[in-house]
Amino acid sequence: MAYKPSTTAIHNGLNDDAQFGCVVPPIYLSSTYNFTDFNEPREHDYSRRGNPGRDIVQKTLAQLEGGHSAVMTNSGMSALHLLCTVFLQPGDLLVAPHDCYGGSYRLFNSQHQRGAYQVQFVDQNNEAELQAALEKKPKLVLIETPSNPLLRIYDIEKIAQQAHDTGALVAVDNTFLSPILQQPLALGADFVIHSCTKYLNGHSDIIAGAIIAKDEKWAEELAWWANNIGVTGGAFDSYLLLRGIRTLSPRIKQQQSNAQELVNYLKAQSQVKKLYYPGLLDHTGHDIAVKQQKGFGAMLSFEFSGDESQLRRFLRALTLFTLAESLGGVETLISHTATMTHAGMSAEARAEAGITDSLLRISVGLEDPSDLIADLENAFKVAAQY
């Protein structure tokens, strides 16, 4: 029987323990498993290749995204690296968004420089630029939507069709929305990538990633290579990730509601030069977001109107907004994009992507939104006092 995502997130793995009747699946910390006899391994033989707890969380992720199966990795970056290792060889072309996450940009650019594969960064909302890149017959096209940090929206269905017409595979980074709000495989993608550190875990206490594959042949290859190069997730991280997924749906919905209240407040602030949020009618790709998403998410960015000294005072005055990288946790985080999440990009690359030195990104948490707004109000006043 097919269940709704909220039910799948809660019930996968429950009541499966036949030995003691544990409601919650136990943590299998053993690194190795005995053979029943000579050359007769059990289902698991070594935890790098497979772990019972990781099996459960991978099954859950695959069901949530509507894929064949998933591979949990030890970070979001290792998930991206695994995907490129499996499907790209020297000379192959990767088409990536020019405004992608700074860590992704750094990985692709450094691998390009050492000849592992070729990469071309393009504005995927620029039809002519995208088409010119696709005419080069790329092996893989990566879509990141909403983009990090400007929350630009890209039409997954349209780009996937264009990419497939040239023989390319398509991967979508779904970290910002999670499968609760967006289903890239149903829109034509071949793979979905997550930094599970973010919304899927939701508590800022693990580093993990995942790739969900639509087809069995790709899933088997990804699993083989994940074991081969040693990027699979550990037992305890699997447990924490599954525990976080249990509450994914209510967390996402409340965080999104809180984000909308912050957006309404920030729209009226004179010290906000420009606000980025897919729910705004004038936001780039708003109509596409309405078509392919089930909500606008809980990430927003804005350009601070003021000099660097005012920006520093604003950040120091905040008490409920933690100045830190990452996102998707129950706590509200704020980051200065140019010096934090996208410091790995050159100033020229950031300028090309539209990322200014005054840009701040907020991951809205589960605090009472009135308290968050009061904190912002005080910080804006402090910044304007001098």
H helix intervals, the chain: 5-11, 52-65, 76-87, 102-113, 127-134, 156-165, 178-181, 216-229, 235-246, 248-266, 286-292, 308-317, 347-353, 369-384
**Which pLDDT score, from 0 to 100, does residue 189 have?**
98
**Which pLDDT score, from 0 to 100, does residue 2 have?**
79
Which residue of the set 99, 123, 173, 190 is catalytic?
173
**Which pLDDT score, from 0 to 100, does residue 327 have?**
97
Per-residue pLDDT at 349 exceeds 70: yes
| Residue found by looking up tokens 């905040």 in the block | 318
Q: With bands split at pLDDT 50, 70 and 90, how would you rate the model's confidence at 386?
A: low
Class of domain 5-244: alpha beta
**Cα distances (angstroms) measured from residue 362 to each of 19, 84, 112, 265, 300:** 45, 29, 31, 14, 5
**Cα distances (angstroms) measured from residue 305 to each of 134, 258, 302, 311, 333:** 38, 23, 9, 8, 20
Rounded to 5°, angle at Cα 194 from 191 and 196? 150
Which residue of the set 28, 54, 55, 101 is catalytic?
101
Which residue of the set 198, 214, 350, 361 is catalytic?
198
Average of pLDDT values for 323-341? 96
Nearest one of 159, 141, 128, 123 to 292, comparing CA atoms: 159
Nearest one of 251, 271, 269, 276 to 332, comparing CA atoms: 251
Average of pLDDT values for 356-364? 97
Distance, in Å, from the CA atom of 148 to the CA atom of 340, rounded to the nearest integer, reads: 12
Residue 48 bears catalytic tag:
yes
Q: What is the pLDDT of residues 285-298, one digit of tens each?
A: 999 999 999 999 99
β-pairing, 333-336 vs 322-323, is: parallel
Q: Would you say 381 and 270 are in contact if contact means Cβ atoms under 8 Å apart? A: no
What Rg value do the Cα atoms of the chain yield, rounded? 21
Which residue of the set 16, 17, 33, 48 is catalytic?
48
Domain boundaries, the chain: 5-244, 248-384
Output the CATH code of domain 248-384.
3.90.1150.10
Per-residue pLDDT at 26 exceeds 80: yes
Distance, in Å, from the CA atom of 138 to the CA atom of 119, rounded to the nearest integer, reads: 9
| Dihedral Cα 196, 201, 207, 210, nearest 10 deg | -20
Average pLDDT, the chain: 96
Residue 205 bears catalytic tag:
no
Q: What percent of the chain has pLDDT over 90?
A: 94
Phi and psi for 70 in degrees, rounded to 5?
Answer: -130, 155
Residue 312 bears catalytic tag:
no
Which region among 20-29, 198-207, 368-377 has the lowest average model confidence (pLDDT)?
20-29
Q: With bands split at pLDDT 50, 70 and 90, how would you rate the model's confidence at 310?
A: very high
Nearest one of 177, 184, 147 to 248, comparing CA atoms: 177
Distance, in Å, from the CA atom of 277 to the CA atom of 151, rounded to the nearest integer, reads: 6
Residue 361 bears catalytic tag:
no
